[in-house]
A and B are shown apart, each in its own frame.
Chain A
Amino acid sequence: MLKEKVAFREPTIQLAHGAGGKASRRLIEGLLVPYLNVKELNDAAYVQADQTKIAFTADSFVVNPLRFPGGSIGELAINGTVNDIAMGGAKPLAIVTTLIIEAGLETEILESEIKAMHEAAEKANVAIVGGDTKVVEHQKADKLFITTAGIGLVDPRVNLSASRVKKGDKIILSGPIGDHGITILFARGDLDLEADIKSDTRSVWPFVSKLINAAAPGLKWMRDPTRGGMATALNELARDAQVAIMLEEEAIKVHPEVRGACEILGLDPMHIANEGQFIAVVSEEYAQDALKAIQQVPGGEQAAIIGEVFESDRHIVLSRSSYGGTRAIDMLVGDPLPRIC
């Protein structure tokens, strides 16, 4: 929770502040949250409307290029919003969207994006019920920016809070990591690398709903590791729950091509964005049932228990290799950058 006071003293906003890592955290907690009504920093907020608990989220999408293997900005927008709501233990109901369009954008591109949004919404069983459009001058927006707001119905069996996370709880990951971020990196074309990799963008609600059915009492916390990757999501967990985490390196799945790309570029899959995966913290008692429930949904076969929560003064995330060596997994400051050294 927001126990530690973070101050934001930088005179200007920089790219790093949007990368999802430490700098983003400083901006959000130090500058923005003090003016807002936020109790816990989660993917979705809870709003009580009489007897009903609603999950409420907002998101924005500024990806370049707009289209890439496995999807496009429109799909990301819908799936990303749906997933934030799912992370709140809520069934996604409806989305509104705003489109900020750069003047000069080909109609065909806009049409294919709205179509992609429509298809993704149908697949995710959520309704796009309204929105807004603005057109800005050339070069005032990078072709197309999409923002969304989404609502969902919180399942009454669910009680998600970082404060419930305790020593011995297991950490479940839904599938292989790194696909989306590496796909985008390749799609930009600067690195001249080719591989059969595509974005993993998809709605995770089908897995979450089965998970809730099977293990609701033991389900304590969920997050989708988007920008900033697993490292960010897990470090946030460690800090918000005031615990430490030990991961088993071998249990974390990475597609061979994603691994190859990371080795070539000197990147760590733990820092790379995912758009179709989620992490769930489940009590030891319910962990096996939770895992099986996810594995039985098509697309969930690669889910695995990847680690465990333990107590420590230092709220860190560690990863243990097959030969017993451990390393610390830290949040990055900004986006991960390829290196040659």
Chain B
Amino acid sequence: MKMRYIDEFRNPDLIKKTLEEIERIVEPDDHFRIMEACGGHTYSIFHFGLQELLPKNIEFIHGPGCPVCVLPPGRVDEGLEIASKNSEVIFTAFGDVMRVPGKKGSPLNHKAMGTDVRMIYSPLDALNIAIKNPDKKVILFAIGFETTAPSTAITVLKAKELDIDNFFVYSNHVKIIPVLKSILDQPNMRIDGFIGPGHASVIIGAHPYEIIAKEYKKPVVISGFEPLDILQSILMLIKQLKSGESKVEIQYKRVVMEEGNVSALEIIDQVFEDRPAFEWRGLGAIQNSALKLKPEFAKWDAEVHFNVEKIHIEENKDAQCGEILKGMLKPNQCKLFGKVCTPDNPVGALMVSSEGACATYYNHLYSTMSS
């Protein structure tokens, strides 16, 4: 049985056609270094086996769009500290967060040892847990780019509307444009163009990427996640690169509008404001790159309500996450890859989540049973 709006974009004949067209346009001396910003695209490229089917002239630089991977080490610990020290606190988070290794273990480890840790699918689930357990305090460990921020925002507004006072958000929402600019600002950065994050762009639209096209002169094609979407986006990018253009194009037209989702942007604006700085794992501090609740929502802000001792964890100096993100190294070229740093025992940001570049490389290209 076919899944609509998914299987049509996995049509084998159209995929073959698009690949042939890419082959036709690419010339032997071409070398295109394309960054797919979003972890979901990294995952899709490998999951659909596209990296093998494309000509070798196309090199993927795997981007920082994995909101779990880039969490500052220590943030998960801070959330877990609150929950493990207070038995009336319930720590809730998406599945992606459950295995992030903290100083004293991951949220799953904590759960196994008795801390009330619960996996949720939607921020609204966390609010429901708070409503059903009035004698407990529920922390929503919120992660995600602009894709997910509106959902957290609506949940906070609901908490306000229903006058729920035992629900708190620990916000780790981050923004895609500041981190892409930060990568583009790095010396020795070698990226020719971007496959833009399709779902974050449903919210923010195409305009925010103009600065990348106009000032940094790099083309951006905002892409969907099915094989045909990614291949079509690559085709569009290569055409721009060959003709020396640099503009922002939307490939994922069936859901991304130029102006984005205006309601969602307003709601983000209503509830969140920029943090002056946020320490990105592997990339260092980036200004105005993360979101926190506005003062008028302090009542639902976990960082205000709980006395959170900042936990700063030094990153392993040998982990070369930053260089991989800039396109200077491939995951397997990092000193720690596969030996010290594995999905089982992740040292750096990019091995933490299954859509991180290193984890993807490891699972698809380098895994052996002896690990």
B52 at interface, CB cutoff 8 A: yes
A107 at interface, CB cutoff 8 A: no
B68 at interface, CB cutoff 8 A: yes
5 further contact pairs, Cβ within 8 A, besides A14-B109, A193-B121, A339-B354? A22-B371, A321-B49, A325-B52, A337-B96, A341-B66
Are A333 and B344 in contact, CB atoms less than 8 angstroms apart? yes
Decide: A190 near B125, CB < 8 A? Known: A327-B47, A328-B363: yes
Are B369 and A238 in contact, CB atoms less than 8 angstroms apart? yes
Are A337 and B99 in contact, CB atoms less than 8 angstroms apart? yes
Mark contacts of A266-293 with chain B using CB atoms, 8 A cut-off: 1 yes-contact digit, 0 otherwise.
1000000000000000000000000000
Instruction: Specify the main secondary structure of chain A where it touches its partner.
Output: loop
Are A265 and B121 in contact, CB atoms less than 8 angstroms apart? yes
Are B144 and A315 in contact, CB atoms less than 8 angstroms apart? no
Are A341 and B144 in contact, CB atoms less than 8 angstroms apart? yes
B116 at interface, CB cutoff 8 A: no
Taken together as a complex, chains A and B put the C-alpha atoms of A22 and B96 apart, in Å, by 19
Taken together as a complex, chains A and B put the C-alpha atoms of A322 and B10 apart, in Å, by 9
Shortest distance between the CB of A28 and any CB in chain B (Å) = 13
A-B contact pairs, 12 of them (CB 8 A): A25-B369, A190-B119, A256-B3, A263-B6, A320-B49, A321-B12, A323-B10, A323-B15, A333-B344, A337-B99, A339-B96, A341-B40
Shortest distance between the CB of B155 and any CB in chain A (Å) = 14
Are B367 and A340 in contact, CB atoms less than 8 angstroms apart? no
From A6, A190, A266, A333, B118 is in contact (CB under 8 Å) with: A190
Which A residues are in CB contact (< 8 Å) with B297? none
Are B99 and A327 in contact, CB atoms less than 8 angstroms apart? no
Taken together as a complex, chains A and B put the C-alpha atoms of A15 and B113 apart, in Å, by 10
From A192, A263, A326, B3 is in contact (CB under 8 Å) with: A263
Taken together as a complex, chains A and B put the C-alpha atoms of A314 and B364 apart, in Å, by 12
B189 at interface, CB cutoff 8 A: no
A210 at interface, CB cutoff 8 A: no
Are B96 and A327 in contact, CB atoms less than 8 angstroms apart? no
Which B residues are in CB contact (< 8 Å) with A190? 118-121, 125
Mark contacts of A216-253 with chain B using CB atoms, 8 A cut-off: 1 yes-contact digit, 0 otherwise.
00000000000000000001001100000000000000
B50 at interface, CB cutoff 8 A: yes
From A239, A316, A325, A334, B50 is in contact (CB under 8 Å) with: A325
Are A326 and B367 in contact, CB atoms less than 8 angstroms apart? no
Shortest distance between the CB of B217 and any CB in chain A (Å) = 30
Shortest distance between the CB of A328 and any CB in chain B (Å) = 5
Q: How many residues of A contact B (CB 8 A)?
A: 42
B196 at interface, CB cutoff 8 A: no
Q: Which residues of A contact B (CB under 8 A)?
A: 4, 6, 14-16, 22-23, 25, 190-193, 235, 238-239, 256, 259-260, 263, 265-266, 314-316, 320-328, 330-331, 333-334, 337-341
Decide: A315 near B369, CB < 8 A? Known: A323-B16, A340-B96: yes
Shortest distance between the CB of A258 and any CB in chain B (Å) = 11
Are A326 and B52 in contact, CB atoms less than 8 angstroms apart? yes
Shortest distance between the CB of A52 and any CB in chain B (Å) = 34
Are B15 and A327 in contact, CB atoms less than 8 angstroms apart? no
Mark contacts of B345-364 with chain A using CB atoms, 8 A cut-off: 1 yes-contact digit, 0 otherwise.
00000000111000000011
B34 at interface, CB cutoff 8 A: no
Shortest distance between the CB of B9 and any CB in chain A (Å) = 11
From B6, B52, B355, B363, A341 is in contact (CB under 8 Å) with: B355
From A4, A316, A327, A339, B49 is in contact (CB under 8 Å) with: A327
Taken together as a complex, chains A and B put the C-alpha atoms of A328 and B367 apart, in Å, by 9
Are A321 and B48 in contact, CB atoms less than 8 angstroms apart? yes
Which A residues are in CB contact (< 8 Å) with B1? 256
B368 at interface, CB cutoff 8 A: yes
Which B residues are in CB contact (< 8 Å) with A15? 108-109, 112
B162 at interface, CB cutoff 8 A: no
Taken together as a complex, chains A and B put the C-alpha atoms of A322 and B53 apart, in Å, by 13
Are B49 and A341 in contact, CB atoms less than 8 angstroms apart? no
From B46, B144, B371, A340 is in contact (CB under 8 Å) with: B144
Taken together as a complex, chains A and B put the C-alpha atoms of A340 and B141 apart, in Å, by 13
B278 at interface, CB cutoff 8 A: no
Which A residues are in CB contact (< 8 Å) with B16? 323-324
From A191, A192, A322, A328, B364 is in contact (CB under 8 Å) with: A328
Taken together as a complex, chains A and B put the C-alpha atoms of A341 and B99 apart, in Å, by 14
From A16, A239, A260, A325, B53 is in contact (CB under 8 Å) with: A325
Which B residues are in CB contact (< 8 Å) with A259? 3
B67 at interface, CB cutoff 8 A: yes
From A6, A14, A263, A339, B94 is in contact (CB under 8 Å) with: A339
From A192, A238, A239, A327, B46 is in contact (CB under 8 Å) with: A327
Which B residues are in CB contact (< 8 Å) with A260? 3
Shortest distance between the CB of B305 and any CB in chain A (Å) = 25
Shortest distance between the CB of B327 and any CB in chain A (Å) = 21
Within 8 A of A (CB), among B47-78: 47-50, 52-53, 66-68
